[in-house]
Amino acid sequence: MKVLIANRGEIAIRLHRTLSEMGFKTVGIYTEADADWPFVHEVDEAHPVSSYLNVEEIIDVARRSGAGAVHPGYGFLAENPTFARAVKEAGMIFVGPTPEAMERVGDKAKAKEIARSVGVPTVPGSEPSDDPDAILEAVKRMGLPVLLKAVGGGGGKGMKLLRDERNLREAIVSAQREALGAFGDGRLIAERYVFPARHIEVQIIADDTGKVLVLGERECSLQRRHQKILEETPSLALDDKLRERLYGYARRIAEGVGYTNAGTVEFLYDEERGEFYFLEVNARLQVEHPITEMTTGLDLVRLQMDVALGGALAVGQEDIRRVGHSIEVRLYAEDPERDFLPSAGKLEQLEFPMMPGLRIDTGVIEGTVVSHLYDPMIAKVITYAPDREQARRKMVEALKRILLFGPKSNLHFLIYLLESEEYVSGRTYTHTVGEILRRYLEEDFRLPEDIEEFVRRLRSRRERSPKDEETILYERIRPAIYP
């Protein structure tokens, strides 16, 4: 059977590799901007499309290529019930939850109602509304700080933290505009801002028999602009009793919506109150799924396919064993000095180290042009070790060995974050990245502009010796960057 991968970049390559191991042929899609990207050449066959969001066009490619199933990856149409329904109506298998389950959990307000109905605590908040004045009144009743959230989707789109009484209405209108552009839905909810808080998610997978397996939790508190840049498992914040309560909450919600396939149930953890608050369900595979694979030995894409093909999960909850510690960081083409704004450009030099316990999931190679049109991720860097400190040290060393020249990246900031007192001690919360960033910007440890300019000039030379001047330069300045 052929499986169409309705996605691009790193996740398209990651899906292709497991699907190939399972004996499936893969069909890729690509836009004009991605025509030279590695995933186009990695899949068994690839077809051009005008957009990764064009449902009719993608279904047509799937039909013409003879695909029997469609895997959406994450992002784009992954949590779109209209797309999932269109795949099924076309006589193909959708690798993910049912459209009905997506609809139940895709609306944040409805998902919170389901959580409350099964006895799971939720953050106190307002009813959804697209009326700026009604939202403003709700905010005033609750009292600041308040977090605005888009009803129609996540990923930080339409999310704003309101701390100051000035310009409240303007902030609400701005959040609505962003939500409408991202999801076609301008409705917002206002929630009490839990501070300090940890963001912890639970990986689940369920089959059509009603079996729901919990594959462990992931700590996702380190975020910028409400989007994750570092995840790890297990969470240092949980003991066995708290973990059991959290897993019970996740299982109740999954059973309450009749969930199937892979997904995550996300929570805020208020350490001061010792309470979990349900946030949302991500009805798809998550970017950070590799750290769960590293600690359980399971291949989540393989499990997804097993469920999608109608089989009952062969493993039970008693078979799930988590060993060791795993960390994932997201290496982005973005500029920490400009509030992590995306940074497009050609990857003039890109080399990753090879180390035991290191996994690199990437969709780019040296020479790839990172476009401003799509997510600017360069790679996911994942480490595994018997304990957290060993995994942390391994991650720091792996990042220091990466050779990356081209667009601005968050590489140096990730190292700084991993070596911070907050991270080493495990005292990490949803606001921690902002505090560390302020210190980072005050310290002058990055490459001087004149050296960066010299490196650019060296890259422009066409003739290279086996050990060229650029590499020699890097070896000379590396001790100064990472003393």
All structural domains of the chain with their residue ranges? 2-95, 124-192, 198-442, 449-481
CB neighbour list of residue 402: distance below 8 Å, 6 or more residues apart: 331, 350, 351, 352, 353, 381, 411
pLDDT score, position 461: 46
Neighbours of 318 (CB within 10 A): 6
Q: What mean pLDDT is predicted for residues 394-410? A: 95
Catalytic one of 198, 218, 224, 284: 284
pTM: 0.87
The CATH label, of 3.30.470.20, 1.10.3720.10, 1.10.600.10, 3.40.50.300, for the domain at 198-442 is: 3.30.470.20
* Mean pLDDT taken over the chain: 91
pLDDT score, position 226: 84
Rounded distance, CA 309 to CA 207, Å? 10
Q: What mean pLDDT is predicted for residues 417-440? A: 96
Q: Class of 124-192 per CATH?
A: alpha beta
CATH topology agreement for domains 124-192 and 198-442: no
Residue 475: band (very low, low, confident or very high) from pLDDT cuts 50, 70, 90: very low
Give 409-412 contacts, CB < 8 A, sequence gap 24+.
Answer: 409/331, 409/332, 409/333, 409/334, 409/343, 409/378, 410/229, 410/331, 410/332, 410/334, 410/335, 410/336, 410/340, 411/331, 412/336, 412/445, 412/446, 412/481
Residue 172: band (very low, low, confident or very high) from pLDDT cuts 50, 70, 90: very high
pLDDT score, position 466: 43
CA distance readout (Å), 103 to 100, 111, 272, 386: 5, 9, 34, 40
CB neighbour list of residue 310: distance below 8 Å, 6 or more residues apart: 208
- For residue 16, is pLDDT > 50? yes
Q: Are strands 358-362 and 227-233 parallel, antiparallel or unpaired?
A: unpaired
pLDDT score, position 163: 87
Q: What mean pLDDT is predicted for residues 459-465? A: 47
Among 303-312, 342-351, 449-458, where is mean pLDDT lowest? 449-458
pLDDT score, position 456: 57
| More confident site: 111 or 201 | 201
Q: What are the two backbone dihedrals, phi and then psi, of residue 343, each rounded to the nearest 5 degrees?
A: -130, 105
- For residue 449, is pLDDT > 80? no
Q: What mean pLDDT is predicted for residues 282-287? A: 96
| More confident site: 344 or 461 | 344
DSSP 323-339: -SEEEEEEEESEEGGGT
Structure tokens at 434: 């902002």
pLDDT score, position 164: 83
- For residue 481, is pLDDT > 80? no
- For residue 444, is pLDDT > 60? no
CB neighbour list of residue 38: distance below 8 Å, 6 or more residues apart: 13, 363, 364, 365, 368
pLDDT score, position 124: 86
User: What are the tens digits of pLDDT across the range 243-280?
Assistant: 999 999 999 999 999 999 999 999 999 998 899 999 99
Output the CATH code of domain 2-95: 3.40.50.20
pLDDT score, position 155: 65
pLDDT score, position 316: 94
Q: What mean pLDDT is predicted for residues 202-228? A: 95
Q: What mean pLDDT is predicted for residues 36-53? A: 97
Rounded distance, CA 436 to CA 422, Å? 9
pLDDT score, position 453: 59
- For residue 138, is pLDDT > 70? yes
The 3-state secondary structure of 1-62, one letter per residue: CEEEECCCHHHHHHHHHHHHHCCCEEEEEECHHHCCCHHHHHCCEEEECCCCCCHHHHHHHH
Give yes or no: 338 in active site.
Answer: no
Q: What mean pLDDT is predicted for residues 360-383? A: 96
CB of 226 closer than 8 Å to CB of 242: no
pLDDT score, position 236: 97
User: What are the tens digits of pLDDT across the range 320-343?
Assistant: 999 999 999 999 999 999 999 999
pLDDT score, position 82: 96
Share of the chain above pLDDT 70, in %: 91
CB of 159 closer than 8 Å to CB of 171: no
- For residue 25, is pLDDT > 60? yes
Among 160-164, 364-368, 479-483, where is mean pLDDT lowest? 479-483
Structure tokens at 126: 């307002």
- For residue 476, is pLDDT > 80? no
Rounded distance, CA 251 to CA 254, Å? 5
The most confident of 36-50, 117-131, 177-191, by mean pLDDT? 36-50
Rounded distance, CA 269 to CA 104, Å? 23
Mapping DSSP to helix (H, G, I), strand (E, B) and coil, where does residue 364 land? coil
- For residue 49, is pLDDT > 90? yes
Rounded distance, CA 481 to CA 188, Å? 44
Rounded distance, CA 183 to CA 79, Å? 11
Report the half-sphere exposure of 180 (CA within 13 A, side-chain side): 11
DSSP 145-164: SEEEEESS--TTTT-EEE--
- For residue 100, is pLDDT > 50? yes
CB neighbour list of residue 414: distance below 8 Å, 6 or more residues apart: 229, 230, 329, 331, 399
CB neighbour list of residue 307: distance below 8 Å, 6 or more residues apart: 205, 206, 207, 208, 260, 261, 262, 313
Residue 472: band (very low, low, confident or very high) from pLDDT cuts 50, 70, 90: very low
